[in-house]
Amino acid sequence: MNNQDLAASVNSRRTFAIISHPDAGKTTITEQLLLFGGVLRKAGTVKAKKSGSFAKSDWMEIEKKRGISVTSSVMQFDYADKRINILDTPGHEDFSEDTYRTLMAVDSAVMVIDSAKGIEPQTKKLFQVCKMRGIPIFTFINKLDRDGKDPLELIAELEDVLGIGAFPMNWPIGMGKGLKGLYDIFNQRIELYRKEDQGESYLELDDNGELREDNPLKEESIYQQVLEEVELLKDAGNQMNEEKIAAGKLTPVFFGSALTNFGVKTFLDAYLKFAPAPAAHRDEAGEKISPVSNDFSGFVFKIQANMNPNHRDRIAFVRICAGEFERGMDVTLARDSKKIRLSNSTQFMADSRETLETAVAGDIIGLYDTGNFQIGDTIFAGKHKIQYEKLPQFTPEIFVRVTAKNVMKQKSFHKGIAQLVQEGAVQLYQSYSTNDYILGAVGQLQFEVFQFRMLNEYHSEVVMTPMGRKIARWIDPEQLDEKMSSSRNILVKDRQGLPLFLFENEFSERWFADKYPNVKLSAKL
Ligand code: GDP
């Protein structure tokens, strides 16, 4: 591919994740997007995947065998001259560090909110990671076909709870049974609510933002109310500001109903106008590497092991940050300068099962891995070494004590732990004085996967004793006095030997802070 073609290809990519609290409608909206992309022919197929009756790729087949749906899979489709990559961020018990790291591999995020519930805890957590990255965030307030919170209240919640400016792109005309449509501020039109199987239906607005005289909607009191609210938003609300959107400081807000496919196309079309093409990633030294570069490079943001005991292979998910990937190409692993040929070990994580031949910056590829890769690894082609900046570590929230069931098998136990911890599957701690092993994770599933893999890959049966939720706070070793440890906190050390406290709850953390006002605690290393 010459440079011009590469630039065109890269610029056509839109790579994003949908973040939400479970049940807000992430799957439903994803499905509608795939329908627009022509990838799915009927609604309900993605849904079925959840229950395990439908496998979209070999990869999901593997997951089905595992009996858990852990996938942060990638779905790709073409729409309006764009190639769109949607990365799934699993919720519920599937929630893990992978979910957070997936957000390192996207260029923007779509936040789906249930209009009746507003901002929920998981949305907030995922939002924080997007905010840290400074990527654009687009909001879809879902389930308008049901009664929900007042739209003005929802906008205020975005600003108060998340601290992000909100710019409504459209505004609901009614809700639940009284839903009439959307007042589309951005497109200067009204989108009428209609049955799911009917096409979109729009009414043009005049220069004053009003309907023509003869429209019956004008007689409805809700119409007048919406005009007033829109006026209020224009006067007192945020102004459209593309720079702020790009910096993740202002979120365009769309209303709709994913289930009845209402407002989803309007959302997608506007989203594609504002969503960024693949951005330059920074290397270790902070230098930006252009995505339109002759040499391929990318980083591993997730490794998923095949739990089928007959096949020990794993898949490394790579975000391509620069250049073009071609099957069979030779790359160098930045960590140890090892040369690796990416031959037919490559498979595409999309809807189809075809083997991937080429991909460009912005795309995600799945590489069969025989143990070469670690999370955060950079691979690059060409002579010039590239090492992308480190992936952040996320503070674990739940903890277990772990021991080998069979004391005679300590060797495989230690080997297994060392490798799985290195892979980034779980975080390892040791109690300060007794050196007992403690594992930390952000989701329960990580422990289950750990236990399973210890048994299958290292023949080590582990016993895990739940310790529950804890708040991990690092303490400056200089300030540490072992007497600070009490019944309300556990003193442990991390892999680097640095001390931290695991507090039972916020109360015990505050109690500690009151007792030792000069001691600085931090959530991160
Ligand atoms: P996820 O957990 O975020 O993936 O949520 P799902 O897409 O599985 O949706 C959760 C539930 O909400 C399902 O029963 C959906 O049918 C329902 N749902 C999703 N979108 C809408 C909507 O726009 N309106 C209504 N009434 N229900 C919806």
Closest residue by Cα to residue 411 from 374, 451, 453, 460? 460
Counting atoms of ligand 1 from 1, which one is nearest the CA of 29? 7
Residue where the block lists tokens 């189809």: 352
> Atom 2, ligand 1: which residue's CA is nearest?
23
Sign of CA dihedral 29, 34, 40, 45: negative
Cα–Cα distance, 525 to 519 (Å, whole number): 15
Calpha distance 225→216 (Å, rounded): 15
Q: Annotated binding site for GTP, which residues?
A: 20-27, 88-92, 142-145
Which residues is 283 bridged to in the sheet?
388
Atom 28 of ligand 1: nearest residue by CA position: 259
Q: How far is CA 438 from CA 229, 441, 493, 520, in A?
A: 54, 10, 10, 23
Tell me, in angstroms, the distance from the centre of ligand 1 to residue 25's CA: 4
Q: Are 316 and 305 in contact (CB under 8 A)?
A: no
Q: Whose CA is nearest to atom 24 of ligand 1?
A: 143
**pLDDT score recorded for residue 94:** 67
Pairwise CA distance, residues 337 & 335, whole Å:
6
What are the residue boundaries of the structural domains of the chain, listed by start? 9-63+91-274, 281-380, 398-522
Mutate to test the pocket of ligand 1, among 28, 47, 73, 257 (most ligand atoms within 8 A of CB): 28
Which residues, listed in sequence order, are joined to residue 168 by a DSSP beta bridge?
253
First and final C-alpha spacing in the chain? 43
Residues 6+ positions from 138 with CB-CB distance below 8 Å: 108, 109, 110, 111, 251, 252, 254, 267, 271, 274, 275
398-522: CATH topology: Alpha-Beta Plaits (3.30.70)
Looking from the CA of residue 20, the nearest atom of ligand 1 is 3
Q: Distance (Å, rounded) from C-alpha 182 to C-alpha 193?
A: 7
Distance 180 CA to ligand 1 centre (A): 20
pTM of the model: 0.87
In tens digits, the chain (525 residues) has pLDDT values of 899 999 999 999 999 999 999 999 998 998 899 888 877 655 444 544 444 333 343 334 434 443 333 343 788 889 999 999 999 887 766 677 888 899 999 999 999 999 999 999 999 999 999 999 999 999 999 999 999 999 999 999 999 999 999 999 999 999 999 999 999 999 999 999 987 777 778 999 998 899 987 888 888 999 999 999 999 999 999 999 999 999 999 999 999 999 999 999 999 999 999 999 999 999 999 999 999 999 999 999 988 765 455 556 677 889 999 999 988 899 999 999 999 998 755 554 444 444 567 899 999 888 877 778 888 999 999 999 999 999 888 889 999 999 999 888 889 999 999 888 877 778 999 999 898 999 999 888 788 888 888 988 899 999 999 999 999 999 999 999 989 998 889 999 999 899 999 999 999 999 999 999 999 999 875
Judge: domain 281-380, CATH 2.40.30.10.
Answer: yes
Query: Which one of 32, 259, 265 would you pick to mutate in the ligand 1 pocket, going by the greatest count of ligand atoms within 8 A of its CB?
Result: 259
- Complex ipTM value: 0.99
Q: Name which residue sits closest to atom 25 of ligand 1, judged by CA.
A: 143
Q: Enter the tokens of residue 127.
A: 């939002």
Atom 16, ligand 1: residue with shortest CA distance: 259
Closest atom, ligand 1, to C-alpha of 30: 7
- Residues tagged in the binding site annotation: 20-27, 88-92, 142-145
Q: Could you identify the atom of ligand 1 that is nearest to the CA of residue 31?
A: 7
Fold (topology level) of 9-63+91-274: Rossmann fold (3.40.50)
Which residue out of 23, 32, 126 has the highest number of ligand 1 atoms within 8 Å of its CB and is therefore the one to mutate?
A: 23
Q: How far apart are CA 10 and CA 323, in angstroms?
A: 8
C-alpha 75/C-alpha 275 separation (Å) is 17
Ligand 1 pocket (Cβ < 6 Å) reads: 20, 22-28, 142-143, 145-146, 257-259
